[in-house]
Copies of this chain bind each other. A is one copy, B any other.
Amino acid sequence: MRSPTTHSPPPSVEQVDTRQLEKLAGYNVRRASLAVMDRFATHMQQHDLKVASYSVLSLIAHNPGITSRQLCATLAIQPPNLVGIINELDARGLLQRLPHPTDGRAVGLHLTKDGAALQARAEATVDAMEDEATQHLSAAERKTLIRLLQKIYR
């Protein structure tokens, strides 16, 4: 109690009470996302890749011939924001643009030999990082977490 009789000064806070925010799933998802993205970005530096660049590289690797439009829809990226990513990967000789077999407007994206090699190295880094990020989770918990998250955004 802070001096009952004499004119008390405005209160100050020592320990911040965050219970109101921390009981929100949204707040926790947001904080976890910030932590994960930060770790992701740090680990991708060794490959000179941004988080988005890795996602694009990975999707092309597993979907040879994928189009820009498909990448945008899958990753929720706006088309104008994908152009720079693709151009940079192209300039680094990591991917190839080939004419689409049936649609003359579209371009099929493929990894070059260098692109495939970098993608494989980056994927190995990501797998190791994933283990690190979820080191406090059991395999079952990790699986549960992913299942519950997909219930939110799908």
Residues of A in contact with B (beta carbons under 8 Å apart) = 9-13, 16-37, 39-40, 55, 58-59, 61-67, 70, 73-74, 76, 98-103, 108, 110, 123, 126, 129-130, 133-134, 136-137, 141-142, 144-146, 148-153
Contacts and interface: CB of A to CB of B under 8 A. Distances in A.
A118 to B, nearest CB: 15
Contacts of A23: 146
Copies in the complex: 2
A25 B65 contact: no
- For A11, A17, A25, A144, which residue has the most chain B Cβ atoms within 10 angstroms? A25
A74 to B, nearest CB: 5
Contact of A10 (B25, B34, B73, B101): B101
A36 B40 contact: no
Given A10-B101, A29-B29, A29-B36, 14 more contacts: A9-B99, A10-B98, A11-B101, A16-B66, A16-B70, A20-B59, A24-B130, A25-B133, A26-B36, A27-B55, A30-B36, A32-B153, A137-B151, A141-B151
